[in-house]
Chain A
Amino acid sequence: DIQMTQSPSSLSASVGDRVTITCQASQDIRKYLNWYQQKPGKAPKLLIYDASNLETGVPSRFSGSGSGTDFTFTISSLQPEDIATYSCQQYENRPLTFGGGTKVEIK
């Protein structure tokens, strides 16, 4: 199985800050990586697919980059409504696997 290592596991930042989360795959997954946002008590929401493509309707302050084994997710200017847990997910191989999640809080 492909292991997805996400860091940090949590972070605290101020409104307007640039926030960066990394995800490392245990083997080459090419561009086959997604990012999801999950607010407490809610289902996950797709933000980024194919490593860098913004899902329809998602604000442009969210972005993703990377390929191979190393990926980055960025919120260019943190907003109060961005408080959530963010998770990466690979789909190069089954079983599909997720990172452990990054909980983003407001400082």
Chain B
Amino acid sequence: QVQLVESGGGVVQPGRSLRLSCAASGFTFSSYDIHWVRQAPGKGLEWVSVISHDGSKKYSADSVKGRFTISRDNSKNTLYLQMNSLRDEDTAVYYCAKEQRYYGSGTFDFWGQGTLVTVSS
């Protein structure tokens, strides 16, 4: 069965960095685009970033552009999110989410359980 397991969250001071990981299993990881989506406490869902199946294309929300970098290692079935210059407003649960279709569409058919990032001094 499809599994996505995020890790790397924690408490970090503003301006510092953190790297999240998402370990995938149960499907052909290298065939699918994968996204990061976050949810601030008590708030709605916010799309963060996507990477194509082969890592050649990456897109990010304006709110994180220039600070967050998405990457993947298909040999390890793992997705990453390098988060630099963290701000209070980056506090959220971060989910990795798998694309439903090979060609990518923006539909998330499987999600991880999420990892909490708290930015606080």
Task: Please say whether chains A and B are actual partners in one complex.
Answer: yes
CB of B46 closer than 8 Å to a CB of A = yes
Binding site for B on A (CB under 8 A): 32, 34, 36, 38, 42-46, 49-50, 55, 87, 89-91, 94-101
What is the CA–CA distance of A50 and B101 in the complex, to the nearest angstrom? 12
Q: How far is the CB of A35 from chain B (nearest CB, A)?
A: 11
Q: Which 4 A-B pairs have the closest CB atoms?
A: A91-B106, A43-B111, A96-B47, A98-B45
Say yes or no: A44-B107 contact (C-beta < 8 A), given A95-B61, A97-B47, A98-B44: no
User: Which of A42, A94, A100 is packed against the most chain B CB atoms within 10 Å?
Assistant: A94
User: Which of A55, A91, A95 is packed against the most chain B CB atoms within 10 Å?
Assistant: A95
Residues on A with beta carbons closer than 8 Å to the beta carbon of B100: 46, 49
What is the CA–CA distance of A91 and B107 in the complex, to the nearest angstrom? 7
Q: Pick the residue among B61, B105, B106, B108 that contacts A44 (CB under 8 A).
A: B108
Q: How far is the CB of B26 from chain A (nearest CB, A)?
A: 15
Say yes or no: A46-B107 contact (C-beta < 8 A), given A97-B47, A98-B44, A98-B47: yes
The answer to whether B47 and A95 touch across the interface, beta carbons within 8 angstroms, is: yes
Residues on A with beta carbons closer than 8 Å to the beta carbon of B95: 43-44
Contact with A along B13-47 (1 / 0, CB 8 A): 00000000000000000000001000000001111
Binding site for A on B (CB under 8 A): 35, 44-47, 50, 59, 61-62, 95, 100, 105-109, 111-114
What is the CA–CA distance of A91 and B104 in the complex, to the nearest angstrom? 10
- 14 new A-B contacts, CB < 8 A, other than A87-B44, A94-B106, A98-B47, are A34-B107, A34-B108, A38-B45, A43-B112, A44-B95, A44-B111, A45-B111, A46-B107, A49-B100, A95-B61, A96-B106, A98-B45, A99-B44, A101-B44
Residues on A with beta carbons closer than 8 Å to the beta carbon of B44: 87, 98-101
Residues on A with beta carbons closer than 8 Å to the beta carbon of B59: 94-95
What is the CA–CA distance of A46 and B106 in the complex, to the nearest angstrom? 12
What is the CA–CA distance of A43 and B59 in the complex, to the nearest angstrom? 22
